[in-house]
Structure 1
């Protein structure tokens, strides 16, 4: 490429990779562009903290590039020249700056991938696309790995990734500790000890940015403190959170990664998902830091704490991205259980007498965060048991969480949580009665409802909803071997008991605001 060729390079809000090879090259006649756009703020209703987090992280990265003498154009949300649309902004810049080549990195969302292909086809200049240099797999690696196999079980993909990247391996084929998976050691209930250190927080005054967002009249959900924004929005912040996790939280992460508690939003979780999903941190450097810290502190930290963390990033995160690119665009329309109900209003205000849902939803509204078990076994469990349409569930999850980008959100929601894909991701629905919630949390102790009762007026709604769901959907599960035991128990219920269960469940589903 001639040195004089004028290039415009697009950087999306989730492509804030400081280590990308773009920034190590000769930069003559290269302009980088960032865009805060209504196109991106309005395709679903986002949590206010999510919009603030992305805008701040983008602005910080743009400033980082400027400080290193890169030519940067930045469209703020209210700039006069900002046409709020990716295609229009690109076309205008190309004309104004006499750009001769347009370049971008592969988007992680299908809609943006399609849009950028269309944009490039319409341009009168050449274009080139680059890898984001972030993930440990390519888009089609999962398809190739499972070719010819009946089920795409994540565990085997995870084992292959451990071998491929030589992560926690005793030999070429044998895992450290003698087991691939220590999941059975990762299911303890937190009862007040060990003490949970405060999260590595931040106190950023974002009042000026909030005024910009308010001026733009962007519709949002959730709550925010304008004087104390608590999320990492730079690489420096992100590394600080990573180091804090290693030194203070890793020692008990695995034990309590599935635990739930009314007074603890974060427990021993890392809060690194936003850092990684915006690419301020790479998955490999996160894994290397955590595993390296473990090797230096093996007398204090058990392997089960570390393996549980590595599995989430090396296994689950890469696997879900592979599923996304394998199954889109049809995946976003999947509704194999034919669920049609509306998501209850309390998902937007937390106003319910069910203590577990009140805490999980309120925490999500306050912090733009809930850990995976809150998402799967509280909010997701209830949505599935009340047979809500996956579109409704998708929109809520995509909007409310700061780390939610479609490639990771939709596969977890439609696949793992709602079983809307019919068993591609999960081999059985992740549903439970109140007993699981009681086992893993203290939610039930102070609840209006009794977890031990089944169909009485003060019975935990999850109990009747669970059996009603199995009965309503039994045709879908009759050939699912993993459901055999529960379906057998369902068959043993007397007609009178089943009638009472279904009557109670029907009241809850039809009138969720009363519960």
Structure 2
């Protein structure tokens, strides 16, 4: 048996903890301690992640392990094809401890409740001291969010965001917000101008290390959703920095104007493409915000662009993380609208005549990415109006996006996309007809469905679903202040027309494959 060093520490680093500033490494003794990193099937398959998500994680983990080793750190790295791999994080912790060489274990808290519970159970039975440290890479701590939320009847991102602005000083001129307003969202909803095309994006050519990860994923996870051919995500700090610098210098100035616009065959538009790097720890969120602010202060980008970008990180990202840890696990069981339908197959295949949905699913398959309006107002809006069970929607979003982790995806799915939380995150369900999609994109011009049609097989399905969705959920939504106008319109239709709208929506739901859930519907649509 290996002799125990009274001070030797085993330090676990997860695949989304690839930061030099990680709490679990702050007191690392490189000549004594050992860092454990493990590629395991449990983490690749608890949902069947997009192939690019797995390749990104493995490639970035391998690069980070090499970075630590170059600094003189001993890394116990377990690859996915290691014949002794237990294929669980807890299993690899136990395996590392079998020789009795460590005095204690240090873990940085995970981002997801399921792993937090697993680590708590491990700590209780490990037989040696286990320290679980708070992840300090977020701008708002758990305790700070709880203090903010404690006296709130409703949790609204806008007011949280204002407090974060005051505390960080971001975009503040003394005690007042820059430009005299907290939020410039009203200026960030320009519809696509004919002939306007977004800039060419910098995509990262996979390094030899990343190419090895891609090959392993292609070999070991062939049946998972998604393609690997166009992989272009940064997997190192240097690559992430290059992507961020390109965005700040060339793309950020127009981000505000066009952040909500959508165009066929244009998956990136003016978006930052830095969410994967931030969520994995390759970029620091507060540093990203400060650098964006510096672009505004230098006069190189307008305030509406920079404020809109910073709000997504300082406001929305920190807010949903706070909600997740405050409300989970109960949050993951919420189904306020009693949604009870399966997820149509075209969410996976892209085989639909709805031009907007086909484009978004096709791009998602190719890139493991869609921007926030495509997620909210195309796939999310459609799933909600179809009445798809939120478990199936959760599963889909977690599966298909490279930047998806439960702490960020679940509040977006159950809060914004499906209103399953009943208003904890959003003040209303984001239901919209085809008119919104026509206004914000070029999808409708080439679609088989008539965006002006209201009923029948040739009408836009979003139109066929919209009024029926509101009527079906009248008992739950009628008193929502932000829906007062559409319900007044519905009330004016009369009972017979409202019944016809319900029937039209039900016909559309069945035609699109959103069938009532039965006991045989394992996976709710997968």
TM-score tier by shorter-chain length is over 0.9
Which residue matches 2:216? 212
Deviation at 1:194, TM superposition (A): 5.2
Deviation at 1:110, TM superposition (A): 0.3
Q: Is 1:230 aligned to residue 232 of structure 2?
A: yes
Q: Is 1:252 aligned to residue 254 of structure 2?
A: yes
Q: Deviation per CA, 1:205-242: give whole Å up to 9, x if none.
A: 655434423443564101121xx521111111110111
Q: Deviation per CA, 1:49-100: give whole Å up to 9, x if none.
A: 0000111011110100001100001111010121112222111211225111
Q: Is 1:429 aligned to residue 432 of structure 2?
A: no
Which residue matches 1:319? 319
Question: Which of 30, 48, 56 is equivalent to 1:45?
Answer: 48
SS at match of 2:414: helix
Question: Which of 259, 280, 283 is equivalent to 2:282?
Answer: 280
Classify 1:304/1:431 alpha carbon distance in 2 versus 1 (closer, same or farther; 3 Å): same
SS at match of 1:95: coil
What is the RMSD of the two structures over their aligned residues, measured on CA atoms? 1.8
SS at match of 2:106: strand
Q: Is 1:85 aligned to residue 85 of structure 2?
A: no
| Matched positions, count | 508
Give, in whole Å, the separation in 2 of the partners of 1:130 and 1:203: 35
SS at match of 2:258: coil
Tell me whether 238-247 or 496-505 shows the greater mean CA deviation.
496-505
Which residue matches 1:73? 76
Assess if the C-alpha contact under 8 Å between 2:22 and 2:108 holds in 1.
Answer: no
Deviation at 1:108, TM superposition (A): 0.8
Assess if the C-alpha contact under 8 Å between 1:337 and 1:419 holds in 2.
Answer: yes
Which residue matches 2:444? 444
Give, in whole Å, the separation in 2 of the partners of 1:501 and 1:229: 44
Give, in whole Å, the separation in 1 of the partners of 2:5 and 2:95: 23
Tell me whether 364-373 or 82-91 shows the greater mean CA deviation.
82-91
Give, in whole Å, the separation in 2 of the partners of 1:149 and 1:407: 21
Deviation at 1:132, TM superposition (A): 2.5
Give, in whole Å, the separation in 1 of the partners of 2:96 and 2:421: 41
Which residue matches 2:488? 488
SS at match of 1:108: coil
Deviation at 1:25, TM superposition (A): 4.4
Q: Deviation per CA, 1:337-388: give whole Å up to 9, x if none.
A: 1001000000111000011111111111111000000000000000000000
Classify 1:393/1:138 alpha carbon distance in 2 versus 1 (closer, same or farther; 3 Å): same
Tell me whether 104-113 or 92-101 shows the greater mean CA deviation.
92-101
Give, in whole Å, the separation in 2 of the partners of 1:495 and 1:404: 43
SS at match of 2:75: strand
Which residue matches 1:306? 306
Unaligned runs of 5+ in 2: 515-526
Structure 1 runs of 4+ aligned residues shifted over 4 Å read: 192-195
SS at match of 1:8: strand
Give, in whole Å, the separation in 2 of the partners of 1:338 and 1:497: 24
Assess if the C-alpha contact under 8 Å between 1:42 and 1:219 holds in 2.
Answer: no
Classify 1:198/1:97 alpha carbon distance in 2 versus 1 (closer, same or farther; 3 Å): farther
Deviation at 1:42, TM superposition (A): 1.2
Deviation at 1:24, TM superposition (A): 6.5
SS at match of 1:96: coil
Which residue matches 1:371? 371
Q: Is 1:264 aligned to residue 266 of structure 2?
A: yes
Give, in whole Å, the separation in 1 of the partners of 2:459 and 2:495: 19
Q: What TM-score does the superposition give when structure 2 sets the normalisation length?
A: 0.93
Assess if the C-alpha contact under 8 Å between 2:231 and 2:367 holds in 1.
Answer: no
Spell out the pairing of 1:335-354 with structure 2 (5 A cutoff). 335-354=335-354
Assess if the C-alpha contact under 8 Å between 2:157 and 2:319 holds in 1.
Answer: yes
Unaligned runs of 5+ in 1: none
Give, in whole Å, the separation in 2 of the partners of 1:71 and 1:396: 38
Deviation at 1:38, TM superposition (A): 0.9
SS at match of 1:140: helix
Q: Deviation per CA, 1:314-334: give whole Å up to 9, x if none.
A: 011000000001100111111
Tell me whether 272-281 or 476-485 shows the greater mean CA deviation.
476-485
Give, in whole Å, the separation in 2 of the partners of 1:201 and 1:211: 19
Give, in whole Å, the separation in 1 of the partners of 2:16 and 2:313: 17
Q: What TM-score does the superposition give when structure 1 sets the normalisation length?
A: 0.95
Deviation at 1:147, TM superposition (A): 1.9
Question: Which of 20, 29, 32 is equivalent to 2:32?
Answer: 29
SS at match of 2:132: strand
Spell out the pairing of 1:382-401 with structure 2 (5 A cutoff). 382-401=382-401
Classify 1:63/1:162 alpha carbon distance in 2 versus 1 (closer, same or farther; 3 Å): same
Which residue matches 1:466? 466
Give, in whole Å, the separation in 2 of the partners of 1:317 and 1:216: 32
